Amino acid sequence: MKERKLAPFPEDFFWGASTSAYQVEGASLEDGKGPSCQDVKEVPEGTSDLTVCADHYHHYKEDIKLMADMGFKSYRFSIAWTRILPEGTGEINQKGIEFYNNVINECLKYGIEPIVTMFHFDMPAALDARGSWGNPESVEWFVNYAMVLYESFGDRVKYWLTINEQNMLTLVGPVIGTLTIPEGTENVLKEIYQQNHHMLVAQSKAMVLCHEMLPNAKIGPAPNISLVYPATCKPEDVIAAQNFNAVRNWLYLDAAVYGRYNSIVWAWLKQNDACPTFAPGDEEALKNGHPDFIGFNYYNTGTVEADDGSVEESPFGGDQQNGGGVAGMYKSYRNPNLQQTEFGWEIDPVGFRATIREMDSRYDLPMLVTENGLGAYDKVGEDGKVHDPYRIEYLRRHIEQIQEAITDGAEMLGYNPWSAIDLISTHEGMRKRYGFIYVDREDFDLGTMERQIKDSGWWYKKVIESNGEDL
């Protein structure tokens, strides 16, 4: 076979990693922070609550120093809405502003680009009580919050992400502890997609406002995008894959980029009497928003087959990466060609390339990887260090595929895998670790909270130093 010459990573590529506020910060009600839905939810059995997490709130200086030691060029983190606006709207909590000013300034001190997610699974509890994203006012709540962020941090933050994994909020909201469906809701599917609609409009308006207030900043969405394969080349399976691709992926990016609903999804919602109601001006608002880039999280691909009638009526099921199915649309299928992590998520580096290529041809925008990574049961070895060759292997194979995709013509802005530091998983607690930095604590034992860079972090330092040449 003819050898392919790979294009290099761009010079200013953002090598870094990610966290989210509610999973890493702790100090969940400290210094005036209001409770979010994550603080009041029922904690999944056998896992830690979110009061302390990695205690990043008190360790941010040390943590960012360690990121600098690894040579990070970027750090993607989220701002907790309720640290800034404890009730979601109304009074600003200056202590919250101060905390993120400190985090941002600490990053800049080391030449690390702060990439800020505005909303990562942590709806203010006070707004949940007012109907959450189901309330049409939620659009203005979010835009007002966005304005406070731009005013407070826009002089230094150049890269913004709107809503983390809106598609997962919609598809598996209860599993990740968010998206509240009011009791007694008759048409749950319609309620879910009405909430989703408000998020889409809010996102669009926040992008417009960003461009107005911060002409030099760039903003984009951050959905979880997994290309969906058909289980076989049976035409019915191909239709099922198209259905799940539309429901899982393209709905979100078609709306963000083109300001329109994906027609497969719209038709399916119509069949179920679940089309969202547009408020006056929504259509225009969707059209007005234009992302500068696509931020996306990638963990693996999906595979589906046609529903043989066995998929139950209830929508979705599973978690972010393990789909259930939708009656008449698709049924999830274990891909026999792929290995799995210890937590049952498939591993598909080549699918990463395929996913990027597909987005490139659909949307023709630069792309920023905002998550990717391996959750594992890391342990401290007898020498006191954390040896995680499995993570190095996972990351190496995925980085290789980014380079393939760049060679294919995709414009890639950066790679920010999950996670910079060990933190609490969405529903698997502290035991499912992703970090380059190990934190000495377990689910129910807060340990010493000491940090150390794992083998993967030292390896990543070399990758960054060589701009992706030394893998």
Q: Which residues inside 308-347 make contact with ligand BG6, applying CB under 6 A?
A: 320
443 binds ligand BG6 (CB under 6 A): no
What contacts 364, CB < 8 A, 6 or more positions away? none
* Pairwise CA distance, residues 339 & 343, whole Å: 11
Site for ligand BG6 in 404-423 (CB under 6 A): 418
Candidates 224, 226, 355, 403; binder of ligand BG6 (CB under 6 A) is 224
Number of residues that bind ligand BG6 (CB under 6 A): 16
Q: Using CA atoms, how far apart are residues 431 and 425, in angstroms rounded to an integer? A: 8
Least separation in angstroms between residue 380's CB and ligand BG6 is 21
Task: Please tell me which residue in 371, 404, 411, 442 is annotated as part of the active site.
Answer: 371
Q: How far is the CB of 173 from ligand BG6 (least distance, A)?
A: 12
Pick the piece of the chain touching ligand BG6 (CB under 6 A) from 96-104, 132-140, 163-171, 272-280: 163-171
Instruction: Work out how close the CB of 80 gets to ligand BG6 at its nearest, in angstroms, rounded to a whole number.
Output: 13
The reply to whether 429 sits near ligand BG6 by the rule CB under 6 A is no
Q: How far is the CB of 161 from ligand BG6 (least distance, A)?
A: 11
Compute the least distance from the CB of residue 322 to ligand BG6, in Å.
10
> Of 123-152, which residues contact ligand BG6 (CB under 6 A)?
none
- Contact segment (CB under 6 A) with ligand BG6 among 79-87, 161-169, 179-187, 326-334 equals 161-169
Closest distance between ligand BG6 and the C-beta of residue 395, in Å? 15
* Amino acid of residue 71: G
Distance CA 441, CA 93 (A): 30
| Interaction between residue 426 and ligand BG6 (CB under 6 A) | yes
Please select the residue that binds ligand BG6; options are 39, 165, 191, 360, rule is CB under 6 A.
165
**Binding string to ligand BG6 for residues 248 to 287, with x set by CB under 6 A, is what?**
----------------------------------------
Q: How many CB atoms lie within 10 A of CB 143?
A: 18
Name which of 406 and 439 has its Cβ closer to ligand BG6. 439
Q: Residue 400: is it exposed, middle or buried by C-beta count within 10 angstroms (0-12/13-18/19+)? A: middle
Smaller CB separation from ligand BG6, 119 or 268: 119
- Which of residues 28 and 320 has its CB atom nearest to ligand BG6 in the complex? 320
Identify which of 265, 263, 254, 246 has the alpha carbon closest to the alpha carbon of residue 287: 254
Residue number, 276 or 323, with CB nearest to ligand BG6: 323
What residues contact residue 443 under an 8 Å CB cut-off, 6+ apart? 46, 47, 48, 429, 430, 431
- Of 366 and 375, nearer to ligand BG6 (C-beta) is 375
Sign of CA dihedral 367, 368, 370, 371: positive
Residues 12-71 that bind ligand BG6 (CB under 6 A): 20, 23
Q: Please, what is the minimum distance in Å from the beta carbon of residue 102 to ligand BG6?
A: 23
| Catalytic (active site) residue 382 | no
Q: Which residues are catalytic?
A: 371
Under the rule (CB under 6 A), what is the footprint of ligand BG6?
Answer: 20, 23, 164-165, 168, 224, 297, 320, 371, 375, 418, 425-428, 432
